[in-house]
């Protein structure tokens, strides 16, 4: 799946509508560094398109989440964000945070035990500052194994 849906009014607030491309570009470069090459970010009316090459599928998913968890972003098209290594890596599941959710509650739902919440935090450390800092509308990666 290369089109990802997000909650448009959730995420990091950007004051200037034209600043979306700059903010997304900076976030991906700061958090993922050289793991994304030839990155191009396009933004129009809530839709982001990412192009470039990622070192693996996990990096691609993280780039999509960094772009999508910005206020004003409704969809991220990652069809042209390619993966360098053809590996047998499964796509992660994604969870949109609801009011009252905690990482423990989400871990219990997807991983079977609330105590596995740190696996979700580690899978999302590029977008989370702490395990307690999640908000409704935020989209998180759920690792396959924990």
Whether the predicted pLDDT of 84 surpasses 90: no
pLDDT at 14: 66
At 16, is the pLDDT very low, low, confident or very high (cuts 50, 70, 90)? low
- Tens digits of per-residue pLDDT, 107-139? 999 999 999 999 999 999 999 999 999 999 999
CA dihedral sign of residues 60, 6, 73, 3:
positive
What was the pLDDT predicted at 18?
Answer: 66
For the chain, list the domains and their CATH numbers. Answer: 3-83 (no CATH), 93-142 (3.10.350.10)
Q: Are 66 and 31 in contact (CB under 8 A)?
A: yes
Strands 93-96 and 36-44: unpaired
Residue range 47-66, pLDDT digits in tens:
999 999 999 989 999 999 99
């Amino acid at each position: 799946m290369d089109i990802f849906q997000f909650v448009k009014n959730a995420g990091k607030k950007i004051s200037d509508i034209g600043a979306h491309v700059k903010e997304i570009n900076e976030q991906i470069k700061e958090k993922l560094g050289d793991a994304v090459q030839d990155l191009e970010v396009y933004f129009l009316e809530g839709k982001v398109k990412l192009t470039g090459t990622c070192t693996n599928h996990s990096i691609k998913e993280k780039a999509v989440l960094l772009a999508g968890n910005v206020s004003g972003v409704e969809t991220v098209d990652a069809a042209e964000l390619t993966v360098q290594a053809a590996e047998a890596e499964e796509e992660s599941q994604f969870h949109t945070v609801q009011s009252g959710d905690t990482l423990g509650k989400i871990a219990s739902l997807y991983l079977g035990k609330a105590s596995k919440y740190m696996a979700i935090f580690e899978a999302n450390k590029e977008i989370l500052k702490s395990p307690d800092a999640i908000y409704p509308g935020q989209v998180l990666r759920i690792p396959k194994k924990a």
